[in-house]
């Protein structure tokens, strides 16, 4: 007869098996985040230097949480959560503005940032709440499963070693700015930018300026503006992504192309923007504040958010001093890059964003022109009006046709499809502008108008047309050095019932920051002391601003504005 099974032995074996299973799960809890991080590194980092930065950043995060919590499983999970969140946010940013996230994004997070995200993603707060309800129990489970405890002092030492190595690498081999246009290397670029951004902030703050200035600007008096003759209504038109594409060789254009870039006197003038391919708000800062985004160095990408509430100087404020009312039509949500608050800081009184205007996605130019005509008729008739019309029809993507019903007779020109669509949209813009001018003459037959249009930057494909032999790295280096071929667009002056005033400031080529000065000169508006000083810079630098004397003139001018109280907190 076989012996009866030992019940105690079976229970002990079951318990041992259960403990072994728990041990495996606990081991997996520790190792899984590390393996996931390695997989992310392999997928997103493209070279040895980037992967080294990833590992050092990962080590810094892990050892920080270990020093805080002593549990490697939970520390790894928290680190992985932050890395995944960074990757997702960086990819989202690249889809929107063709640049990956960097540390400055974190430095300048504000109410407008949260407001913009909640506007475009109305369910975001509920998604975050749901993620929190799922994540917290998982974190508690990892706290309970983690069998290891690490002493805080060794963990802190390892964190500092990783951080020191990362900082040293970033200082010796800083990441080049043009690499932010690449959709990869999310953690390594973010980590390197943290070192350089903090270093720049400590050295010169958010904006470059001289430490002291020997001169002083007079503060303009409210009632000191007395123009001679009639003050024209001024319309400033932001022509999205527009430049004369004939600057590239071999591009086919329709008959009559190019007339839209000429002024009332038949001259085609160049406008040197400070961005290429995407960030329109750089030029928005130029033409409203009359200053250079390049003065913000590594922080220039956030120029309107930084300037909001701080840079109280610009074209709208100068015109208000001369009795103008100020109005702005904006094609996106007002919280985007703090556009609403920035424009209010520079003197815009009535701001209408996409929601106010009822704009849906990308609208043709005629949509904004029609809205402008309606809003202009609603303004008090006694005072002249400044109207800023921000267009969007020529915004990317050009892979799809925008409102083909508006150009039924259009035929392909034989360029690449993207180029043909770009030129078609420019033709639409030219037609819509002509209709807008006709509408002004009809609705306001006796009122004088000065109209100034400008291309805010070249489209993102322009560098490849201008230099087809260069690869992305070569183009990036030219952009980093501000090759003027990559930043030249146009500005044009037109008039209705008004003769623009001749001025040496109305040059054939100007830096973007001088456009407010050109507008006031052409309109016959007396300049306040800050614009008088800037005019002298313009004349002695032949239309250059930041590039004049390697930024020395811009730094001196910024200090004058700071001392005069027009720039605060920078």
Residue 258's region, left for phi above 0, alpha for psi from -120 to 50, else beta, is left
What pLDDT band is residue 125 in, cutting at 50, 70 and 90? low
What pLDDT band is residue 478 in, cutting at 50, 70 and 90? confident
pLDDT tens figures, 525-537 = 999 999 999 999 9
Give the angle 505-510-513 at the CA atoms, nearest 5°: 95
* The pLDDT of residue 6 is above 60: no
DSSP string, 9-38: HHHHHHHHHHHHHHHHHHHHHHHHHHHHHH
Which pair of tokens denotes residue 316? 């709208």
Sheet containing 449-455: which strands, arranged edge to edge?
A: 350-352, 325-329, 385-390, 233-239, 449-455, 491-496
Name the nearest CA neighbour of 277 among 375, 395, 194, 387. Answer: 395
Which pair of tokens denotes residue 192? 């390197």
Fold exhibited by the domain 233-254+277-540: Alkaline Phosphatase, subunit A (3.40.720)
CA atoms of 344 and 110, how far apart (whole Å): 17
Q: What is the pLDDT of residue 17?
A: 45
Inter-residue contact 237 to 372 (CB < 8 Å): no
pLDDT tens figures, 409-433 = 999 999 999 999 999 999 999 999 9
* The pLDDT of residue 200 is above 90: no
pLDDT tens figures, 554-564 = 999 999 999 99
Mean pLDDT of the residues in the chain: 87
What pLDDT band is residue 197 in, cutting at 50, 70 and 90? confident
Mean pLDDT of 32-42: 90
CB atoms within 10 A of CB 134: 10
CA atoms of 48 and 46, how far apart (whole Å): 7
Residue length of the chain: 570
Q: What is the pLDDT of residue 15?
A: 42
* The pLDDT of residue 4 is above 60: no
Which pair of tokens denotes residue 175? 């990441």
Q: What is the pLDDT of residue 131?
A: 58
Which pair of tokens denotes residue 95? 């889809």
Which pair of tokens denotes residue 267? 């001259």
**395 vs 128: which has the higher pLDDT:** 395
* The pLDDT of residue 283 is above 90: yes
The structure tokens 């109209």 sit at 451
Q: Which of 19-23, 238-242, 400-404 has the lowest mean pLDDT?
A: 19-23
Give the angle 22-26-30 at the CA atoms, nearest 5°: 165
CA atoms of 201 and 108, how far apart (whole Å): 12
Could you give phi then psi for residue 62, rounded to 5 degrees?
-60, -50
Mean pLDDT of 459-474: 90
Inter-residue contact 357 to 371 (CB < 8 Å): yes
Contacts with 410 (C-beta within 8 Å, 6 or more apart), sequence order: 404, 424, 427
The structure tokens 């006031």 sit at 520
User: Do you find a cis peptide bond into 397, omega within 30 degrees of 0?
Assistant: yes
**Computed from CA positions of residues 551, 553, 559, 564, in that sequence, does the dihedral angle turn out positive or negative?**
negative
Mean pLDDT of 151-162: 91
Q: What is the pLDDT of residue 491?
A: 98
Q: How far is CA 266 from the centre of its chain?
A: 33
Mean pLDDT of 27-47: 86
* The pLDDT of residue 390 is above 80: yes
pLDDT tens figures, 222-277 = 566 777 778 999 999 999 999 999 999 999 999 999 999 999 999 999 999 999 88
Please give the model's pTM, rounded to 2 decimal places.
Answer: 0.82
Q: What is the pLDDT of residue 27?
A: 75
Which pair of tokens denotes residue 290? 């009359």
Name the nearest CA neighbour of 74 among 2, 169, 172, 148. Answer: 148
In this structure, are strands 491-496 and 449-455 parallel, antiparallel, or unpaired?
antiparallel
Q: What is the pLDDT of residue 381?
A: 81
* The pLDDT of residue 10 is above 60: no
Q: Percent of the chain at pLDDT above 70? A: 86
What pLDDT band is residue 18 in, cutting at 50, 70 and 90? very low
DSSP string, 170-221: HHHSPPPGGGGGSS--HHHHHHHHHHHHHHHHHHH-SS---S--S--PPPPP
Tell me the helix, strand and coil percentages in the chain, rounded to 5. Answer: 55, 10, 35
Could you give phi then psi for residue 340, rounded to 5 degrees?
-60, -50
Q: What is the pLDDT of residue 301?
A: 85
Q: How far is CA 501 from the centre of its chain?
A: 34
Dihedral angle, C-alpha 245, 246, 251, 253, nearest 10 °:
90
Domain spans of the chain? 15-204, 233-254+277-540
What pLDDT band is residue 183 in, cutting at 50, 70 and 90? confident
**Computed from CA positions of residues 268, 270, 276, 282, in that sequence, does the dihedral angle turn out positive or negative?**
negative
Q: What is the pLDDT of residue 330?
A: 97
Q: What is the pLDDT of residue 202?
A: 82
What pLDDT band is residue 96 in, cutting at 50, 70 and 90? low
The helix or strand, by DSSP H or E, that contains position 146, with its residue range, turns out to be none
Adjacent-strand bridge partners of 352: 329
**207 vs 176: which has the higher pLDDT:** 207
* The pLDDT of residue 175 is above 80: no
């Amino acid at each position: 007869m076989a012996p009866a099974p030992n019940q105690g032995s079976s229970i002990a074996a079951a318990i041992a098996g259960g403990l072994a299973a728990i041990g495996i799960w606990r081991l997996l809890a520790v190792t899984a985040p590390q393996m996931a991080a390695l997989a992310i590194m392999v997928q997103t980092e493209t070279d040895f230097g980037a992967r080294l930065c990833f590992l050092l950043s990962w080590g810094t995060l892990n050892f920080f949480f270990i020093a805080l919590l002593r549990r490697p499983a939970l520390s790894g999970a928290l680190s992985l959560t932050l890395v995944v969140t960074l990757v997702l946010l960086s990819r989202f940013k690249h889809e929107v503005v063709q640049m990956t996230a960097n540390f400055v994004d974190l430095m300048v997070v504000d109410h407008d940032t949260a407001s913009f995200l909640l506007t475009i993603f109305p369910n975001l707060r509920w998604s975050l709440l749901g993620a929190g309800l799922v994540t917290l129990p998982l974190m508690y489970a990892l706290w309970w499963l983690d069998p290891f405890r690490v002493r805080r002092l060794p963990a802190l030492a390892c964190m500092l070693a990783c951080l020191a190595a990362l900082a040293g690498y970033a200082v010796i081999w800083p990441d080049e700015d043009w690499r932010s246009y690449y959709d990869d290397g999310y953690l390594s670029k973010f980590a390197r930018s943290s070192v350089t951004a903090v270093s720049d902030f400590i050295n010169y703050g958010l904006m470059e300026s001289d430490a002291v200035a020997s001169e002083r600007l007079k503060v303009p008096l409210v009632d000191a503006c007395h123009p001679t003759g009639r003050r024209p209504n001024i319309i400033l038109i932001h022509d999205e992504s527009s430049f004369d594409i004939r600057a590239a060789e071999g591009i086919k254009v329709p008959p009559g192309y190019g007339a839209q870039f000429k002024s009332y006197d038949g001259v085609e003038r160049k406008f040197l923007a400070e961005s290429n391919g995407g960030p329109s708000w750089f030029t928005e800062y130029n033409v409203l504040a009359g200053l250079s985004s390049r003065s913000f160095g590594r922080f220039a990408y956030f120029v309107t958010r930084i300037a909001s509430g701080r840079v109280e100087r610009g074209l709208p404020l100068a015109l208000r001093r001369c009795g103008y009312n100020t109005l702005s039509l904006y094609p996106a949500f007002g919280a985007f890059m703090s556009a609403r608050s920035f424009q209010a800081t520079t003197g815009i009184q009535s701001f209408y964003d996409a929601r106010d205007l009822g704009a849906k996605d990308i609208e043709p130019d005629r949509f904004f022109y029609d809205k402008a005509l309606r809003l202009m008729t609603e303004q008090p008739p006694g005072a002249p009006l400044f109207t800023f019309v921000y267009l969007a029809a020529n915004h990317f993507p050009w892979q799809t046709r925008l409102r083909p019903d508006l150009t039924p007779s259009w035929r392909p020109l034989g360029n690449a499809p993207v180029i043909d669509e770009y030129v078609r949209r420019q033709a639409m813009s030219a037609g819509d502008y002509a209709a807008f001018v006709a509408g002004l003459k009809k609705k306001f037959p006796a009122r004088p108008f000065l109209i100034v249009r400008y291309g805010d930057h070249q489209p993102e494909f322009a560098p490849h047309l201008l230099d087809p032999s260069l690869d992305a790295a070569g183009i990036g280096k030219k952009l980093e050095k501000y090759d003027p071929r990559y930043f030249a667009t146009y500005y044009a002056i037109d008039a209705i019932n008004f003769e623009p005033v001749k001025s040496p400031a109305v040059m054939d080529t100007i830096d973007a920051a001088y456009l407010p000065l050109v507008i006031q000169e052409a309109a016959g508006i007396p300049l306040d002391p800050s614009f008088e000083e800037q005019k002298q810079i313009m004349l002695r630098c032949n239309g250059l601003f930041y590039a004049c004397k390697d930024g020395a003139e811009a730094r001196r001018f910024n200090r004058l504005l700071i001392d005069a109280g027009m720039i605060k907190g920078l």
